[in-house]
Amino acid sequence: MARHGISITAAHHPPAACSAAPRAVAAAVAALLATAPLMAQVDLGTEEQRAAGKVVYDKYCGQCHGDDGDGNGYATLRVKPKPRDFTTGKYKFRTTPNGMLPTDDDLRRAIEVGLPYTSMPGWPNLTSAEIDNVIYYIKSFSPDFENPDRYGEPIDIPPPLESTEESISRGRVVYEEQGCASCHGEVGRGDGPSAPTLVNDKGDPIKIADLTQRWTYRGGPTKEDIYRTFSTGLNGTPMPSYADSLEVEDRQHLVNYVYSLGDGDDPGYGTLITAVHAEEPIDLQNGDALDALFADAPMTRFPLVGQISEPGRNFYPSVTSIEAQAVYNRDEIAFRVRWNDLRADTTGRNGPSMDVPMWDEDNGIGGDAEDGAEDAADSGDFFGDFGGEEAPAAAEDDFFGGGDTGDDFFGGGDDGDDFFGGGDAGSGGAEFSDAVALQFPISLAEAGSPLKPYFLFGDSQNPVDLWFVNLTYGVADTFRGRGSDQVVPTEADIVEAVTSYDQGEWTVTYKRRRSSRAGISFAEQQYTPIAFSVWDGFNRERGNKRALSSWFYVYTEPSVQQAATLPVLRAAFLVLAIELLVVFLVRRRARQRAAGSDTAADAVAAAGAPAV
Ligand code: HEC
Ligand code: HEC
C-alpha cells in the first residue's frame, strides 16, 4: 500500500517542473509514463478486500497452503508436489520474465483453472470478486509484492508459426542445442539423464514434465503456453528461462517441435480395449512380426490413480496413464501395454503383495539419491538382507538376453553411472524395480449381473488373477488375489511376456491361451473386465503403493470371417428386400390398373416394412 502511494506522488511531480526545462521534463514524463504501468501493478487491495480474501483463503486454501501461507497446511504431508509457499513470492506459471512476480491475471488463471495433475484444484465456484480478494490476501504473505522492482511487464507472445516440416526440424536442432533433452529426454518423455536428480529451490525432488503428454502441463497445452513456459522459466524450479538465449523465431520453431512431440491436448481416455482377430501366430520372440500384429489393433489410453484406500498409500504416483491393445488368434490372446517412465528401474525387487512400512507410505516422487541412501541406511531393519542383494541384482543383465535390450536399459554408460554408480546402495531405483500387472476376474459374472471383483486385487467371493511382470526379470508371474492381503502365486495358466524400454517408454507384451480352466477364458464377442497396476521403482512403489485403474473392458471382436460375412449377409438381405419390393409394386400396379384404388405412396410405405 505504502509503495503504491509513493508511486502516485512521484507521478504528480513532473507538472510542477514544467516551465523550467520543457524538453527534459517531457522526456521525464515519457519515461514515467513508460514505467507507470509497472508501478500500477503494485496493487495490494484495500484492508477490507484483504480481510474478505482471508475468509475465502481460510475456508478453501489454508488446509494446503497453510494458515501463514507457507505451504505447510495440515493436508500437505500427503501432497506432492507441495503446495506453493506464498511467503517466497516465487510462482511458476507467469507471463512475466524469469524471477519476476506474477501478474494478478496469472494468479487468477491458476486459481480458476487449477494446476492439472497436482492436488491444486480449480475453483470455478468462487466469484470474480472472491478471487480478486483472495489474490490480495495471498500477495500479503510476501513482502516482494510491495517492491516495484520485482514487477515485470508480461512478455510478448507472437502468434505461432505454421508447423511446417522445416520449422519442426529447426525446432529439434534448438531443442538439442539448448539441452532440453538432458532433462526432458530425446523425445520428451521426461527421461533425460538429469531427470532423476532434479530438485526445486527447497530441495524437494521435482517431477520433470513429460512433454509428450500435453494434458499434464500445468501451464496449459497450447503453443502460446509452451512459448511462455520456456521463455519465462518456472521460478523456484530447475526449468530455466530461454528468453535471453533464443531469438523469437527460434523460440517459435522450438514451440512447433515441442508440440510435435505430443500425443494431443487431451488424453482421450477410453474404457474399452478392442481385441482384434489375427490369422497369424503370435510369436513373442519375433519383434517385427509382433509389431506388425499390433499395428492394426486400436490403442486405448486408461487413466491411473494412486492407491489411497488401503495401507501403502500413494497419493502422487509417477505414472498417470497407460495405453493398451489386444490381438487374438484361434488359440491365443496377446495384450500390449505402454507407459512412460523417467528411467528403467531394473535391478530391484517388487511384488504385488510386498509390504510397505508406514514410514514409506506416500513417499513422494523423486527418491533422490541422498534421501534414498539415508532411507536405506536408516531402514536396514525393514529391509533385512536387501543391501546384500544389490550387486547380484545389478549383474543380472543376462535376463535381457540379446545385449541390445541391455543397452537400452543402461544406455550410454553415463546414465548407468548416475543410476548405479559408486556402489551407492540407496541411489533411487536400485532398491525397487518397475513393474506392471494386468488384472482379470477369474470368471465372468452371471449374465446381467453387474458384479465385478473388488478392484484392489479382488475379494474373497470374487478372486482375480494378476499377470504380474517385475521388469527386473521381464517374465510374467501369475498371482491369484482375494484382496490385497491375500495375493498368492498360482501356476494355473502359463502367461508369457516380453518387455522393452526405449527413450522413456516401457512396452510389455503378454500372451496366454484364450481358454483356461482355472481362470478367465476369452471367447469371441465377449466383454471381459480388465484393470491395470503400474509400479515405478524410482518412486519406491511396490505392493499396495502403486498406480492403478478401475475396471475397464476388453472386447474380443468377432474374427475376420464373421466380420466379412456380416456385410455380405446384409447386402444379400438388401437385394432380397428390393426384389420383393419390386415384385410387390409390379403386382400392385397390375392390381391398381385393374381396380384403380391405392396410392403409390401407400404401396412404398407398406413395402418398406419387410425391408427393415
Ligand atoms: C488440496 C491442496 C490445495 C488446495 C486446497 C489449494 N491449493 Fe493452491 N496449490 C496446491 C499445490 C500442490 C500447488 C503447487 C502445484 C505445483 O507446484 O505445480 C498449488 C499452487 C498454487 C498457486 C501457485 C501457482 C503458480 O504459478 O505457482 C496458487 C496461486 C494457488 N495454489 C492458489 C490457491 C488458492 C487461492 C486456493 C484456495 C482457493 C488454493 N490454492 C487451494 C494445492 C492446493
Ligand atoms: C535443468 C532441467 C531442465 C531443462 C534443461 C529444461 N527443462 Fe523444461 N522443465 C523442467 C522441470 C523440472 C519442469 C517441471 C517444473 C515443475 O513441475 O514445476 C519443466 C517443465 C517444462 C514444461 C511444462 C510446464 C507446464 O506447463 O507444466 C515445458 C513445456 C518445458 N519444460 C519445456 C522445456 C524446453 C522446451 C526446454 C529447452 C529449451 C526445457 N524445458 C529445458 C526442467 C528442465
In the prediction, which pLDDT does 559 show? 87
Q: Which amino acid is at 537?
A: G
Which mutation among 50, 65, 93 tests ligand 1's pocket best, with the greatest number of atoms within 8 A of CB?
65
**Within 13 Å and on the Cβ side, how many CA atoms surround 486?**
11
Residue pair 78/189 in contact by the 8 Å Cβ criterion: no
In the prediction, which pLDDT does 409 show? 32
Å from CA of 209 to ligand 2 middle:
6
Ligand 2: residues with CB < 6 A are 92, 178-180, 182-184, 194, 198, 206-209, 211, 217-219, 226, 229-230, 234, 237-240, 242, 254, 258
Is the CB–ligand 1 distance for residue 190 below 6 Å? no
Which mutation among 106, 184, 223 tests ligand 2's pocket best, with the greatest number of atoms within 8 A of CB?
184
Is the CB–ligand 1 distance for residue 120 below 6 Å? yes
Burial class (CB in 10 A: 0-12, 13-18, 19+), 425: middle
**Closest Cα to residue 344, out of 189, 188, 549, 118?**
189
Longest dimension (CA), the chain: 115
Instruction: Report the Cα 536 to chain-centroid distance in Å.
Output: 14
**Cell triple for residue 609?**
416394412
In the prediction, which pLDDT does 599 show? 45
Report the 10 Å Cβ neighbour count for 284. Answer: 15
Measured CA to CA, the distance from residue 558 to residue 526 in angstroms comes to 9
Is the CB–ligand 1 distance for residue 92 below 6 Å? yes
User: What distance, in Å, lies between the first and last C-alpha atoms of the chain?
Assistant: 77
Residue with CA at minimum distance from ligand 1 atom 36: 61
In the prediction, which pLDDT does 561 show? 59
Mean pLDDT of each 10-residue bin along the chain, 612 residues long: 37 39 51 49 92 97 95 79 94 96 96 93 96 98 95 95 97 98 97 95 92 96 97 96 96 98 92 95 95 96 90 86 97 98 94 86 42 35 30 31 31 32 40 96 72 81 93 94 91 93 98 94 94 94 93 90 54 63 68 56 42 34
Residue pair 465/480 in contact by the 8 Å Cβ criterion: yes
